[in-house]
């Protein structure tokens, strides 16, 4: 897709989003929005150049596992707000907690409430590596603080991050998310590529970019430059280039190497946290990082994030050496939502049931694709997954760039959307499952998948 041309193109009101699906009202609303909002949307993930071409769906409402657009089309929703809606839309317990807090107490006080400590205790009890925790507003903000804290604690300046991962849009880490391979250096030794223009010069000098799932590259880099490396920043499961699982032993090797060299290991669990289990991916996979970042799952659909970890590192926040500020941090809405969400997530058997429904979808999709003879497979863990249309295994970003068929994925997305199944049109996003999804939803999704897979098989 030519980004420059897309940025300046007019919305194609006369062209439907997907054949056989009436989305005329979405087209009209997008045309009007473009006159007022740059690109017509308020986040890149909703933009035309992220796959919502010629315009995104405009939503009227959501309830449970379903969303309805402004044209009256209803979809089984696996987009789930890009992850936050772990209980589906308008979960009663979380929604009521927020309403009660606003009506009975307020919203923002710039003073603490006892509810904050109750929430902190729930996070500490749930996540193995957390001794102390601070609340933030977004994952971007939490990552910014985590990297700053790691640098202050180690008195080193470099951060290792991995190609294909997204850790928010702050200048310090918004590099090498999805770079053009021909501009990103050799496979074993990538160079930092800014995600776009406007980055301050010299930021890249503080970054070391590595391929993921390559323990040798990590070990060699730390052996060579360990004295200047403050932190290794990683998702425990790669979730921003589709879904890519860590190879057996990789995270264990990462933990061992960073501990040996006094490097802070930061897990970005914005997507995996509280979703892959109450203790996040780190509990599920048995790895204990030094600092962790959470966002989407913790708020049950409301904007709240958290950053926490070892007490000796968090002590720099406690004594004021590293400032963590924010007028809206720990506001009443966020606190009420997160307290209610964590209570819900702590329900015995909840994650086991969520896994069971998710496993049924993942295995079912895999069988549908295999039965159709398509060059495709499903990768995932728990309620997080993606379909790869590829003839080779994908272990890192460059594998995805070289082997994933984005065109077939788009046709897959179009066919599923036309049959009432919603997920992101980009292969580098994910399908999410919520506690609101039922086995009837899964059955309907698989019925749609069989029809679409058959159509694709005739043309591939």
Q: Is 166 a catalytic residue?
A: yes
Of the candidates 75, 250, 296, 441, the residue annotated as catalytic is 296
- Specify the length of the chain in residues: 460
Cis bond before residue 50 (omega within 30° of 0)? no
- Where residue 460 falls among pLDDT bands split at 50, 70, 90? confident
Q: Is the pLDDT of residue 189 over 60?
A: yes
Q: Is the pLDDT of residue 423 over 50?
A: yes
pLDDT single digits (tens) 438-455: 999 999 999 999 999 999
Q: Is 288 a catalytic residue?
A: no
State the pLDDT at residue 16: 86
Q: Is the pLDDT of residue 350 over 50?
A: yes
Of the candidates 166, 174, 397, 428, the residue annotated as catalytic is 166
Q: What is the average per-residue pLDDT within 425-441?
A: 98
Q: Are 103 and 324 in contact (CB under 8 A)?
A: no
Mean pLDDT over each residue of the chain, to the nearest integer: 95
Q: Which of 248, 250, 242 is nearest to 210 (CA)?
A: 250
State the pLDDT at residue 10: 39
Residue written as tokens 């203790």?
279
Q: What residue ranges define each of the domains in the chain, with the CATH number in brackets?
A: 57-90+349-459 (3.90.1150.10), 92-345 (3.40.640.10)
State the pLDDT at residue 15: 62
Q: Is the pLDDT of residue 2 over 60?
A: no
What HEC string does the chain produce?
CCHHHHHHCCCCCCCCCCCCCCCHHHHHHHHHHHCCCHHHCCCHHHCHHHCCCCCCCCEEEEEECEEEECCCCEEEECCHHHCCCCCCECCHHHHHHHHHHHHHCCCCCCCCCHHHHHHHHHHHHHCCCCCEEEEECCHHHHHHHHHHHHHHHHCCCEEEEECCCCCCCCCCCCECCCCCHHHCCCCCCCCCCECCCCCCCCHHHHEEEECCCCHHHHHHHHHHHHHHEEEEEECCCECCCCCECCCCCHHHHHHHHHHHCCCEEEEEECCCCCCCCCCHHHHHHCCCCCEEEECHHHHCCCCCEEEEECHHHHHHHHCCCCCCCCCCCCCHHHHHHHHHHHHHHCCCCHHHHHHHHHHHHHHHHHHHHHHCCCCCEEEEECCEEEEECCCCCCCCHHHHHHHCCHHHHHHHHHHHHHCCEECCCCCCCCEECCCCCCHHHHHHHHHHHHHHHHHHHHHC
State the pLDDT at residue 12: 40
- Where residue 77 falls among pLDDT bands split at 50, 70, 90? very high
What strands, in cross-sheet order, belong to the sheet with 59-63? 59-63, 66-69, 74-77, 421-422
Of the candidates 69, 77, 214, 268, the residue annotated as catalytic is 268
Q: How many CA atoms lie within 13 A of 78 on its CB side?
A: 30
Q: Judging by DSSP bridges, how do beta strands 207-210 and 158-162 pair with one another?
A: parallel
State the pLDDT at residue 1: 32
Task: Please give the backbone phi and psi of residue 125, each rounded to the nearest 5 degrees, phi first.
Answer: -65, -30
Q: Is the pLDDT of residue 159 over 80?
A: yes
Q: Are 68 and 420 in contact (CB under 8 A)?
A: no
pLDDT single digits (tens) 222-268: 999 999 999 999 999 999 999 999 999 999 999 999 999 999 999 99
Cα Rg of the chain (Å, integer): 22
**CA-CA-CA-CA torsion sign (81, 88, 351, 386):** negative
């Amino acid at each position: 897709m030519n980004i420059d041309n897309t940025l300046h193109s007019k919305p194609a009101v006369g062209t439907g989003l997907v054949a056989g699906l009436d989305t005329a009202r979405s087209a009209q609303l997008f045309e009007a929005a473009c006159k007022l909002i740059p690109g017509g949307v308020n986040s890149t993930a909703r933009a035309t150049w992220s796959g919502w071409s010629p315009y995104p769906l405009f939503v009227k409402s959501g309830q449970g596992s379903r969303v309805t657009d402004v044209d009256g089309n209803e979809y089984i929703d696996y987009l789930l707000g890009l992850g936050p809606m772990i209980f589906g839309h308008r979960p009663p317990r979380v929604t009521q907690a927020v309403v009660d807090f606003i009506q009975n107490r307020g919203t923002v006080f710039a003073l603490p409430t006892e509810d904050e400590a109750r929430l902190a205790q729930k996070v500490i009890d749930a996540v193995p590596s957390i001794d102390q925790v601070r609340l933030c507003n977004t994952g971007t903000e939490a990552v910014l603080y985590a990297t700053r804290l790691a640098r202050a604690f180690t008195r080193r300046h470099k951060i290792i991050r991995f190609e294909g991962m997204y850790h928010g849009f702050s200048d310090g880490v918004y590099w090498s998310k999805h770079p053009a391979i021909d501009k990103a250096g050799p496979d074993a030794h990538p160079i930092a590529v800014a995600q776009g223009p406007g980055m301050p010069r010299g930021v890249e000098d503080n970054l070391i970019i590595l391929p993921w799932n390559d323990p040798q590259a990590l070990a060699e880099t730390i052996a060579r430059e360990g004295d200047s490396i403050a932190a290794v920043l990683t998702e425990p499961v790669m979730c921003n280039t589709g879904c890519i699982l860590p190879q057996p032993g990789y995270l264990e090797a990462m933990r061992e190497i960073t501990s040996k060299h006094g490097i802070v290991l930061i897990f970005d669990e914005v997507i995996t946290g509280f979703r892959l289990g109450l203790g996040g991916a780190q509990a599920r996979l048995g790895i204990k990082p030094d600092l962790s970042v959470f966002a989407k799952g913790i708020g049950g659909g409301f904007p709240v994030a958290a950053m926490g970890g070892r007490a000796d590192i968090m002590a720099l926040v406690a004594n004021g050496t590293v400032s963590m500020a924010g007028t809206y941090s720990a506001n009443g809405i966020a606190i009420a939502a997160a307290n209610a969400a964590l209570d819900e997530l702590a329900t015995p058997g909840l994650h086991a049931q969520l896994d069971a429904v998710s496993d049924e979808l993942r295995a079912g999709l895999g069988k549908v694709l295999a039965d159709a003879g398509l060059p495709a497979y499903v990768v995932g863990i728990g309620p997080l997954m993606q379909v790869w249309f590829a003839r080779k295994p994908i272990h890192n970003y460059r594998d995805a760039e070289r082997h994933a068929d984005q065109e077939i994925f788009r046709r897959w997305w179009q066919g599923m959307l036309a049959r009432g199944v919603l997920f992101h049109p980009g292969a580098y996003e994910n399908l999410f499952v919520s506690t609101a999804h039922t086995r009837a939803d899964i059955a309907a999704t698989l019925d749609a998948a069989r029809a679409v897979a058959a159509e694709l098989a005739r043309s591939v």
